[in-house]
Amino acid sequence: MQIKSQAGLEVIDLDFCEQVQQQSQSHLERCYQCYTCALGCPVAFATDYTPNQIIRMVQAGLREKVLQSGLIWLCASCETCVARCPNEVDIVKLMDTLRSMSLQEQPAKRVKDVIHMHKTFLKNVEKRGRIHELGFIIGMKMGSVETLKPSVQLLEDALLGYKMFSRGKLKLLPHRIQGVNHIKEIYRKVQEKKNQYNQ
Amino acid sequence: MKIGYYPGCSSEGTALEYGQSIEAVAEALDIELIELEDWSCCGASSGHCTDETLSLALPARNMAIAEKMGQDMVVSCAACYVRFKATEHELKQDAQKRQEIAEIIGMPLELKYTTRHFLELIYHEIGLDKIRNRVRKPLTGLKAVCYYGCYLVRPPKVTRFDNPENPTMMDELMVALGAESIDWPCKIDCCSGSLAFTRVHIAKKLLATIMQTAIDVGANCIVTACPLCQANLDTRTPMSARKALPILYFSELLAVALGLEGMERWWRRHIFRPTKLLRSLNLIT
């Protein structure tokens, strides 16, 4: 159920917090804003919110703000916050849940390429059973127009690609496991379960 | 000893030297590695970041294969390690989930066996005394900083690997091999993981701190136990000699100290080659 905040500036989803708590089992209600997670977070310098701020926003029902945030997708899942939280809030589990939810709804446009990277990885595994690194890198670059725009970074990446290739680090041909149909079946069943859950 | 072996996807590609050095060291130490039949990807970060069920099912398939073989399994990649441990941890606590996952993979899953990292095997099963006795070429002059990264030590309740803020297993191994292991503050700092693919500026900042700190404390190499940490440090830090150190796998150094052969094929795969350092210390020809 959604209501508007008193000044009319925010849309508050009164069910959001409980939904997230149920799905994540992260004990986010225990957070008392000590900022230990924020201080240890390696990406905090480059994102819109720190982990504790996301927790507070979940508690406050700010669904859209949370699911459209950059942090949930730039979180490196390094588990530093989890290891240090004095209340044992499982922040990475929380991030996983928020990531999953944002995929069902609408993630921020600026993290489209991160999501594309994950999807490319999993498609690669579905097709072959194992990651073919060269295929993964190509798939990743091809799917994102921004990465193909001429830039210093593109040149640097091209040079790096050449170095890695010439040192034999990138296997040219993919390997397909024998049980690749088993993998496809696993993916199918997982999708089926997800469809059931969403009905 | 015999143990199931899960090589991991990168040991066939970008971390080929890691895979080969693990296998060479295992053979030298009489550890029989029985490769899991038709093993598949553990799902790594992309699994758990997008779909919880998939992130459990992909590792579970391999765990079921190891169970069928009647073996624990040993891994070399720290990311694979944490995925297996996390799956084991989650499914042991939730019988219903375990049943669901067993149905999805279509294989029995009783969780009778566990996953170890190769470093754990060396430290706990082989023991540093045996290692010390087998050293033929002490790594004298090597000033290593041991870089554990995230996934060996975190989440602490899941991996129970070592002290999560100040692990020492790799340091002790280096000392047993005759090297100097320098204490430093970046032991367990994040290398940025898969952000090195999508947010290079974040990766560069994190990696530059790690590299510069290693140089500042007087190290001449960084030792790792994770293919992505190694690749990130090797590829996304400045190339000039003053600003870079070779990044070596602990198994490569173990192989040098044990006096094994055929290591040249590993050195030339590193982006920043360790040959100059190793030759200057007379550790290789």
Is B14–A76 a contact, with Cβ atoms under 8 angstroms apart? Answer: no
Q: Which of B51, B104, B164 is nearest residue A83 as measured by Cβ atoms?
A: B164
Assign residue B160 a region (left: φ > 0; alpha: ψ between -120 and 50; beta: otherwise). left
Interchain CB contacts (distance < 8 Å): A and B? 162
Chain B neighbours among A 131-170 (CB < 8 Å)? Answer: 131-134, 137, 140, 153, 160, 163-164, 167-170
Q: In chain A, at which residue ranges do the beta strands (DSSP E only) sit? A: 2-4, 11-13
Residue A3's pLDDT band (cuts 50, 70, 90):
confident
Percent above pLDDT 70 for chain A: 97
Give the pLDDT score at A158: 85
Taking CB atoms and an 8 Å cutoff, what residues of chain B touch A171? Answer: 12-13
* Cβ contacts of A197 on chain B, cutoff 8 Å: none
* Test mutation, A97, A167, A175, A187, chain B, max B CBs within 10 A: A167
Confidence class of residue A197 from pLDDT cuts 50, 70 and 90? confident
Instruction: Give the residue from B252, B246, B254 showing the smallest Cα distance to B265.
Output: B252
If we measure between CA atoms, which residue out of B114, B32, B131, B128 comes closest to residue B73?
A: B114
Query: Model-level pTM?
Result: 0.96
Residues of chain B contacting A85 with CB distance shorter than 8 Å:
none
Q: What is the pLDDT along chain B (285 residues), one digit of tens a residue?
A: 999 999 999 999 999 999 999 999 999 999 999 999 999 999 999 999 999 999 999 999 999 999 999 999 999 999 999 999 999 999 999 999 999 999 999 999 999 999 999 999 999 999 999 999 999 999 999 999 999 999 999 999 999 999 999 999 999 999 999 999 999 999 999 999 999 999 999 999 999 999 999 999 999 999 999 999 999 999 998 765 557 899 999 999 999 999 999 999 999 999 999 999 999 999 998
Contacts of B13 in chain A (CB under 8 A): 131-134, 169-171
pLDDT tens digit sequence for A85-138: 999 999 999 999 999 999 999 888 999 999 999 999 999 999 999 999 999 998
Q: What is the per-residue pLDDT across A7-48, written as a single tens digit (0 to 9) for each?
A: 878 889 999 999 999 999 999 999 999 999 999 999 999 999
- Residue A66 pLDDT grade (very low, low, confident, very high; cuts 50, 70, 90): very high
Looking up tokens 């991996």, which residue turns up? B159
Q: Most A CBs within 10 Å: which of B50, B200, B230, B275, as the mutation test of the A interface? A: B50
Burial B77-113 (b: 16+ CB within 10 A, else e): bbbbbbbbbbbbbbbeeeeebbebbbebbebebebeb
A chain contacts of residue B50, beta-carbon cutoff 8 Å:
99-100, 103, 115, 118-119, 122
Q: Of A80, A92, A170, which has the smallest distance from its Cβ to B13's Cβ?
A: A170
Which of B13, B154, B268 is the closest to A80 by Cβ? B154
Cβ atoms A46, A75 nearer than 8 A: no
Reading the block at residue B252, the tokens are 């490569």
Minimal Cβ distance to A42: which of B47, B58, B190: B190
pLDDT of residue A145: 67
Chain B residues with beta carbon closer than 8 angstroms to that of A177: 38-40
Nearest CA in chain B to A156: B236
Q: Copy the structure tokens of residue A20.
A: 């997230």
What residues of chain A lie within 8 A of the CB of B49, using their CB?
73, 77, 96, 99, 118
* Cα separation, A180 vs A182, whole angstroms: 5
Chain A residues 7-66 with CB within 8 Å of chain B: 42-43, 45-46
CA distance A152 to chain B (A): 12
Contact A171, B10 (CB under 8 A): no
Per-position b or e across B47-63, b if 16+ CB within 10 A of its CB: bbbbbbbbbbbbbbbbb
Beta-sheet pairing, A2-4 with A11-13: antiparallel
Distance from CA of B269 to the nearest CA of A (A): 5
Kind of pairing between the strands at B2-6 and A11-13: unpaired
Start-to-end C-alpha separation, chain A: 18
Enumerate the H helices of B217-271 as residue ranges.
227-235, 250-257, 264-267
